[in-house]
Amino acid sequence: MANLPRQDDSLPPSSKDKDLDIVRQQHIPRGSASTSSESIKAVAIYEVIKGVGALLGAGALWSWHSDLEHWLTTATTSWQQTFGQLLAPQVDSAVRIAQQASKNWPVFLLIIFTYASLRFLEAYGLWQDKTWAYWFGVLGYGIFIPIELYYLFASPFDWFKLAILVSNIIIVIVVYRNMKRKGLI
């Protein structure tokens, strides 16, 4: 830089400098310098909710793992009395998972804590408008869409599975659109 001529600050800027400033302003999306959009913040909040839900599940497993069968029977009966058959397949699936987890609860707790940590990490990255978090989000959700489609069509129709599929597609679209807006793809 020593060989470059110094620009005299007392001289008015040339028209080339003005044109260059206009071009720079046109290529920088407003508000994208260091803040994430409202839609990305909504995805980040959703990630936090998923992480908290996982930790609540881990807490329940930790608290009731020694008497899990009794607790599951009581909870399932209460659910059926209150809601009937609403989400019955999901309740049965959660019971089976909890029964399997109780056989090796320390490993299952480690898996839950890892999952929750990833959700919180992604939420932080999205909230802070980090490039890696956009890629993590779009790939993390996108990879499960084919699997969810398979289970939606391979097993009896389930509104819950459809809702999960639609929410994951919406999240991929939101993150993808924000990636395009930021010039990441």
51 pLDDT tier (thresholds 50, 70, 90) = very high
Structure token pair of residue 144 = 């499960």
Answer whether residue 31 shows pLDDT above 50.
no
Q: What is the pLDDT of residues 4-28, one digit of tens each?
A: 545 544 555 555 555 544 444 444 4
Please, what is the average pLDDT of the chain? 78
33 pLDDT tier (thresholds 50, 70, 90) = very low
Answer whether residue 48 shows pLDDT above 80.
yes
Cα–Cα distance between 46 and 57 in angstroms, integer? 17
Q: What is the pLDDT of residues 105-155, one digit of tens each?
A: 788 888 889 999 999 999 999 999 899 999 998 888 888 889 888 888 887
Q: What is the pLDDT of residues 164-176, one digit of tens each?
A: 889 989 999 999 9
Residue 87, φ and ψ in degrees, nearest 5: 60, 25
Contact 125, 136 (CB under 8 A): yes
Cα–Cα distance between 74 and 12 in angstroms, integer? 80
